[in-house]
Chains A and B, each alone.
Chain A
Amino acid sequence: MAGLLKIDNLAKKFGGLTAVSNVSMHLNQNELVALIGPNGAGKTTLFNLLTGVISASSGSIVLDGRNGAVTLNGKKASQIAQMGLARTFQNIRLFKEMTVVENVMVAMTDRFNENFFSSIFRTPAFYKKEQMMKDEALKLLTIFNLEKQAETKAKNLPYGIQRRLEIVRTLATNPQILFLDEPAAGMNPEETADLTRLIIKVQKMFQITILLIEHDMSLVMNVAERIYVLDHGSLLAEGTPAEIQDNDQVIKAYLGEEV
């Protein structure tokens, strides 16, 4: 199945500054796509547009997934997340004062409907639902070797594990597409290699589409099937890792022109 997410002429202007201009791209089912570009190219702005954190000035985003074709423009971030577009953040955003398992359970809020009165009067139905949520959260944590830290507060986790927890949390929303914003930022080569394996595992195991922003080229070239290059807010190139490596324009954008 092709064309899970179609982005058409998407643009965002902040006053006089055009952060993203006329970007058109698409994501296919079960594809792992990378989005690269120099600092300030508009990669994170594009993510924010796609996940509804900010709204687009023009253009359209259409999701053609398990619920049929839906236009995502003008939808709230929480609605978009409920439709199956989940994301992580460049600067980790966990619920710091909550435990690891609670962090994952929050992400299930929309999928498990606890009746208000049954939770207030603690009916057997409440305990059953609560156990179901906890079991599912623990199952996810076990897949990522986090089950031992389940009762630790998120703020007390080491940096690399916080990143991993953020990915687990997005998976708890039962996503169709996962947006990862610089998952390897601040990691050493060994941790990056671990993360690379983890990303591939997630994609295979959960059968989801992943769009990844990353500066670490070893990660990008290893995992990405296709690469989009963004520069000054517009698309510079698109292609397989090999094609991008040989693209003159891309080299120019990163390294500058030959003297």
Chain B
Amino acid sequence: MRDNFKYNITWLIIMAAGFYMINTLILVGIVNTFIENMLVTIGINIILATGLNLVIGFAGQFSLGHAGFMAVGAYATAIITSSVSGGSGFYLSLIVGIILSVVIALIVGIPTLRLRGDYLAIATMGAAEIIRIVINNMKITGGAAGIFNIPQFASWPTVYIMVCITTIVLTNFIHSRDGRAVIAVREDEIAAESVGVNVFKWKLAAFVFGAATAAIAGSLHASYLQTIAPSEFGIMESISVLIIVVLGGIGSITGTFVAAIALGVIDTILQNFGALRMVIYALALILIMVFKPSGLLGTKELSIKSIFKKIKSRKEVI
């Protein structure tokens, strides 16, 4: 029990230190608005990709509909904060976005999660397209032009805190009875059923959970960038989140962090190269996939617990 407390406090200190570090760098002027922009994009991508990793990496369900749920969150924030401004409006819209995406994920998930592999990918992709096309044709969402002049509320501290919260919630979920059931479903559905794990229920739980985090990312995206349009939430957005997950390692939250940060930095650096940017970006992806097909970290995780144990055992040796 005391050990657990120690691990949790260590994580808390690391998170606070990260916050303080970014804050200082901004005050000193090393991090300008350009880099701050990059950090926020990385943060939003981390939230998106960790959520998708839960669905793909831990539950083993190949979903390509992540952008659809992101759109739900983004539009909820855009519409609500346009009439209710300030923090209360933003947090209200965040909650509305989560609830809406959970409801839609249930509607989409109940029929489609019975499918396997590629079929599920196509079905979820279709569902995301439906969401996008509905948004494209509604008055309240501003049609194809989208919504602009959304009051900005989410700056980097909000994004940073949301990254911490979603990561804590996700990892705690994964390292619990529920998470074990979800992973068992990925490992072997028939065996999971045979030991009393309701496979469909846990698949759905992971899918809904992933959708909720996508909605949070969408809310932050809308509130930070202040303009959104349906075209941003197409299949390409789903795929770019998928790339982060695959690159970092399917089934590794730490890997997702590494990949999101690496890709964010590469993307920013390559902006100086103009048209060559996408070529170099694609080349980097191909190289990583050739030399490290399981992703940068495979299924490895950074764990304070194992670090503490290593230090302890080393001390005992000495």
Interface residues of A (CB under 8 A from B): 51-53, 76-78, 81-82, 86-87, 89, 93-98, 102, 105-112, 114, 116, 119-122, 124, 126-127, 129-130, 133, 169-170, 172-173
Q: Which residues in A have their C-beta under 8 angstroms from that of B183?
A: 95, 97-98, 106
Is B136's beta carbon under 8 Å from chain A? no
Contacting pair B4 A127 (CB below 8 A): yes
Interface residues of B in 153-208 (CB under 8 A from A): 169, 172-173, 176-178, 180-181, 183-184, 187-188, 190-199
Contacting pair B194 A77 (CB below 8 A): yes
Given contacts A81-B194, A98-B180, A109-B197, 19 further A-B contacts (CB under 8 A): A78-B196, A93-B194, A97-B183, A98-B184, A105-B177, A106-B181, A106-B183, A106-B192, A106-B195, A107-B195, A108-B177, A109-B180, A120-B176, A122-B172, A124-B1, A127-B4, A129-B177, A170-B195, A173-B196
Binding site secondary structure of chain B: helix
When the two chains form the complex, which single residue of A93, A110, A130 contacts B191, counting CB atoms closer than 8 Å?
A: A93
Contacting pair A173 B180 (CB below 8 A): no
User: How distant is the Cα of A119 from the Cα of B1 in the complex, in angstroms?
Assistant: 15
Is B226's beta carbon under 8 Å from chain A? no
Interface size on B, residues (CB 8 A): 27
Q: Which residues in B have their C-beta under 8 angstroms from that of A121?
A: 172
User: How distant is the Cα of A106 from the Cα of B197 in the complex, in angstroms?
Assistant: 8
A204 to chain B minimum Cβ distance, whole angstroms, is 23
Q: Which residues in A have their C-beta under 8 angstroms from that of B191?
A: 89, 93-95
Q: Which residues in B have their C-beta under 8 angstroms from that of A95?
A: 183-184, 187-188, 191-192
A185 to chain B minimum Cβ distance, whole angstroms, is 17
Q: Which residues in B have their C-beta under 8 angstroms from that of A86?
A: 194-195
Is B299's beta carbon under 8 Å from chain A? yes
With A53-B193, A97-B299, A122-B4 known to touch, is A78 a contact of B198 (CB < 8 Å)?
A: yes
When the two chains form the complex, which single residue of A78, A105, A170 contacts B199, counting CB atoms closer than 8 Å?
A: A78
B194 to chain A minimum Cβ distance, whole angstroms, is 5
